[in-house]
Amino acid sequence: MPQVNIIQEIEALRAQVRLWEHAYYVNDTPLVPDSEYDRVYRQLQDLETEYPALISTDSPTQRVGGKVQGGFLSIPHAVPMLSLNNAFGSDEVRAFDQRLRDLLDSPNSELDYLTELKFDGLAISLTYENGVLVQAATRGDGNNGEGVLANVRTIKNIPLRLHGHHLPKLIDVRGEVLMTRFDFQKLNQSQEKNGGKPFANPRNAAAGSLRQLDPAITSQRKLSFFAYGVGRLEGFGDALDLVPRSQARLLAWYREIGIPVSSWTQLVSGVSGVLEYFKKIEEARLQLPFDIDGVVYKVNDFALQNTLGFTSNAPRFAIAHKFPAEEMLTTIKAIDVQVGRTGAITPVARLAPVLVGGVTVTNATLHNQDEITRKDIRIGDTVVVRRAGDVIPEVLSVLVEKRPTSAQTFVMPRHCPVCQHILEKSEDAAILRCPGGWSCDAQKKGQLRHFVSRDALNIDGVGEQLIESLIDNNLVNTPPDLFYLEAKILARLPRMGEKSAQKVVSACEAARRVALGRLIYALGIRHVGESTARDLAQHFGSLNALRQAARGEVNLPTPNELPNHLFGDLLSEPLKISLDDAQTDAQTRALNALQAVKDVGPVAALALYEFFTNAFAQQWLTRLEGLLEIEAPLIASQTNTRHPLFGKSMVFTGTLPTWSRSVVEERARRCGAKIVGSVSAKTDIVVAGSEAGSKLEKALTLGVTVWDEAQFIEVLGE
């Protein structure tokens, strides 16, 4: 007989899961990350498997979903809407595949699987009678759902009537209602603007929108639907050959009759095929317009599905392969501050190590003091940490109920931890800054890392560790110093042999020839990104012209002088100040000259003015200018109109093996091509690298010409 403490542990786990399920499914307010729910749920499952006599009918493991929320008609499902069992690694997927082959008495043969995305939305059942939508219900508890037909009818991509011939008398379409990330952001902005509570994530936003008692509210929120399964399918009459015999054929038929289906499905063979699909989707995940939390594998053949059958709450023939958790619980051990390249002071939480998104995380950004205060984050707290792709981990929330009595409040320092300057805070900013600039080693290292980065001067081999060593050994203090480095001196540094030292010197030499736009970006001026740097280069044409304008050394032209190349559009309305004022005030002249450039506002203009009037920065910039061969941007009249790329609309996507995105786009522009951000029927060429994702897929669907980097370089003629 099980010990009393085992019984108590099982009951405590059930109570915890019930609490979380009610918050998630009924209140649309998750209390913990999905990973924590999965961990506790599996712990309960394992104990009930070990002690089957303790399984009770009211255990959370014995039902599928949440309760039916009050205010909606309860709709029974003729065919239960079951959940899927989960796999959390490739070994569990292999075990699933082997188990199916053993059940089918064919342990050495490969099964065909249809692989699909596991949408992070709300499962729903749509019933069509004679092709007309007559009922819609949420999953609910799997046996009974909430009738939401009036709300579902507002979802634009759900057909109210199917099209085609030989439609069945009745079909129960199973699928997912979801909200895209873009529409989720817009909804939350609207919620906050109107004093409402923002939603925690797109899944809860979709659930909350679909469960509105007033369909007019649902209609204002953009929801989408994708089908992936079927419940009942009756009444084909004599046209039995039209009945789908596989999962792949079912989805193809759905497309034919107007039911939306994801284009990311794929028919694969064997366990190697499903794992390859998982890797592909994991790499493309962040480029999808909506959230997914894994992929689904289903035995493709319906006859084999029927043979394999079901357990009490899940099909045996399908499994959900979950991504590594991107939200986890851990504790804050300490809070330090870091100094960024522009002097921004960022508090950083030092965490008890935790595996998040497949990576061990020990630090997370806390953004600023206002954010720490708003979330009430303290040293010693148990917190939810999120990591998505390559994004810096951040603390989402605090579990206040787990706060220890020893938890400590954090207060930002008054002095820079690196150079001891007194920190400054502007009236309209939440960020503290160190005013030390290049005299602060932290900012100096950050600026040099930016200067050599791939989208700036792209000096290969000069990484973070080498920059640390160069500055610590007083070999480099400003960007021009990089071009005086000698291989024999570099070779004496730790982890730097003769060959590596020579490669660094050669890379610096190769970087001497640089486009003006890339150089402006490399200078690390606040609020001046790649796009703004290109616009400045195109507008002024030379570094000297930009310097003079930014220092207010060039008088504004009179209307009779407007053809002047440098300030041709300066007097376009609205004029920010009068000409008389502009000619008496260097700063005002500078700000007006700079704001005449496309997309340069007052903040970026002031940052440019401060950089180009800083005596120390201008001293090393003058030295740098003498060391570089600066390429001026081409103007339209200089472009070869006979070049194959002239006038072409081009999209670059994915990671290219040789050149950075900014380099290839710059080369294409110099040939007269127009660079756009999205693929459409008007796009002429897509250049795709690895992890190209949805843009590549859309290009192939539209029949747009697709090149790899080698083809682009060949046409470029370089």
Supply the residues annotated as catalytic: 118
Among candidates 282, 169, 138, 283, which has minimal Cα distance to 234?
A: 169
523: alpha, beta or left? (left if phi > 0; alpha if psi -120 to 50)? alpha
Question: Which residues 6+ apart lie within 8 Å of 23 measured at CB?
Answer: 29, 30, 31
Tell me the two tokens of residue 348. 């950083």
In 1-50, beta strands by DSSP E: none
Distance CA 60, CA 198 (A): 29
Please, where are the H alpha helices in 523-601? 530-540, 543-550, 579-584, 586-595
Distance CA 435, CA 367 (A): 19
Pairing, β 705-707 against β 685-688: parallel
Asked if 410 contacts 377 with a C-beta cutoff of 8 angstroms, the reply is: yes
Asked if 352 contacts 380 with a C-beta cutoff of 8 angstroms, the reply is: no
Give pairs for 434-438: CB < 8 Å, separation 24+: 434/339, 434/343, 434/345, 435/343, 436/343, 437/343, 437/614, 437/616, 438/477, 438/478, 438/616, 438/617
C-beta neighbour count of 20 within 10 angstroms: 19
CB-side neighbour CA atoms (13 Å) of 658: 8
Among candidates 492, 484, 451, which has minimal Cα distance to 500?
A: 492
Look at residue 584 and give its three-state secondary structure: helix
